[in-house]
């Protein structure tokens, strides 16, 4: 594997549309926050300490046991990547916006299939992320926990018997676990039910965030739902609670889809085919508009209204049209207008090919 292959491939394997409940659940993610004992948190430590953390983590993953279970892992310093390449990693969810705030002495470790991503020197020394397609939170937790155990054989984690894993932000103290699912909820948005659901979810101690997590909005009717409590609950309990809520939301989305199709079939079909028409013939289109139209088309596929396209086709297009990836394919920087034009061209060509 090479970083060039990663930044040249538009979509990670876990985001291609497979897995349980994949008509609604795009992916499941487990993130573990860990720090190494004896070092200050990243926002206060010296450059020398940050470099020592990078080397320690690099050595921890460079062993036969890790490679046997997770394949070859690549260590990449952010300083060695171009701005466009770093942005592609963000667009693919392999790194966070926070990791890009200061790229000095920061790195990411990636597995070949991109299901495992370990951010180094973000808010905490390590952010271990494990992604799986569809609704597979328990399976993702088992894999992430295994990575964590293997690293802990070499790394001395900052841990307190009373408080659990110590983290830079108090909201992560305890398990250091963030479990999340990314859901496609167009019917609940169209039916005007999404705000009530978000309010109810928040009252259960869960957070609803946008496509790129905290502080971002839900474009393309995509929502991330995750736990907020990390202290006082076991990892299995956190995941079990999130799974229960996720399944309830899945059922509500399916009910909303069925009701829309039964009671407003003509209007729904008109909305879906209008979006398909815009995607097929527009000459300029923004990222947000394209994602909204692709969301409508994805709903049409799930309801059987469109039978010549697949969820995988749409998932790939959703990544292919991101600003950084467009510039990577063009091998040059582009203005917003140039990206809108190129985005429309790529979508037209892909739609023409898929509909044959």
Annotated binding site for ATP: 27-31, 93, 127, 178-182, 209-214
- Residue 14: closest CA among 117, 159, 124: 117
Contact assessment for residue 119 and residue 130, using Cβ atoms and an 8 Å cutoff: no
According to DSSP, the residues that pair with 97 across neighbouring strands are none
Count of all residues that appear for the chain in the document = 356
* 164: alpha, beta or left? (left if phi > 0; alpha if psi -120 to 50): left
Q: Which residues of 205-240 are buried (b: 16+ CB within 10 A; e: fewer)?
A: ebbbbebbbeeeebbbbbbbbbbeebeebebeebbe
The residue to which tokens 């088992």 are assigned: 142
Query: Tokens standing for 250?
Result: 């899945």
Contacts (Cβ under 8 Å, ≥6 apart) of 213: 96, 97, 224
Query: Tokens standing for 70?
Result: 């997770």
Contacts (Cβ under 8 Å, ≥6 apart) of 18: 133, 134, 312
Binding site as annotated, residues: 27-31, 93, 127, 178-182, 209-214
Could you give the CA distance from residue 53 to residue 48 in angstroms, rounded to a whole number? 9
């Amino acid at each position: 594997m090479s970083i060039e292959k990663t930044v040249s491939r538009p979509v990670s394997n876990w985001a291609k549309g497979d897995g349980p409940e994949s008509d609604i659940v795009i992916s499941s993610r487990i993130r573990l926050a860990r720090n190494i004992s004896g070092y200050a948190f990243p926002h206060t430590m010296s450059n020398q300490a940050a470099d020592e953390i990078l080397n320690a983590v690099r050595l921890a993953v460079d062993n036969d046991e890790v490679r046997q279970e997770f394949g070859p892992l690549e260590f990449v310093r952010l300083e060695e990547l171009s701005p466009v390449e770093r942005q592609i990693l963000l667009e693919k969810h392999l790194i966070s916006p926070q990791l890009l705030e200061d790229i000095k002495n920061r790195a990411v470790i990636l597995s070949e299939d991109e299901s495992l991503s370990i951010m180094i020197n973000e808010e905490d020394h390590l952010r271990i992320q494990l992604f799986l397609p569809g609704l597979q939170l328990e399976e993702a937790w088992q894999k992430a926990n295994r990575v964590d155990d293997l690293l802990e054989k070499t790394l001395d984690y900052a841990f307190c018997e009373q408080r659990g894993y110590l983290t830079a932000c108090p909201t992560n103290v305890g398990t250091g676990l963030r479990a999340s699912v990314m859901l496609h909820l167009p019917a609940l948005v169209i039916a005007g039910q999404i705000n009530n659901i978000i309010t109810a979810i928040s009252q259960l101690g869960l957070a609803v965030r946008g496509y790129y997590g905290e502080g971002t909005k839900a474009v393309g009717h995509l929502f991330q739902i995750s736990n907020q409590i990390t202290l006082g609950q076991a990892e299995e309990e956190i995941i079990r609670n999130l799974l229960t809520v996720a399944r309830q939301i899945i059922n509500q989305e399916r009910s909303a889809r069925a009701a829309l199709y039964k009671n407003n079939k003509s209007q729904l079909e008109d909305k879906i085919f209008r979006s398909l028409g815009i995607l097929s013939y527009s000459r300029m289109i923004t990222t947000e508009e394209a994602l909204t139209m692709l969301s409508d088309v994805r709903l049409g596929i799930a309801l059987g209204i469109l039978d010549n396209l697949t969820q995988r086709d749409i998932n790939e297009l959703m990544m292919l049209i991101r600003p950084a990836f467009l510039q990577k394919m063009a091998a040059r920087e582009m203005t917003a207008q140039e990206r809108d034009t190129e985005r429309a061209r790529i979508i037209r060509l892909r739609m023409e090919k898929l509909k044959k």
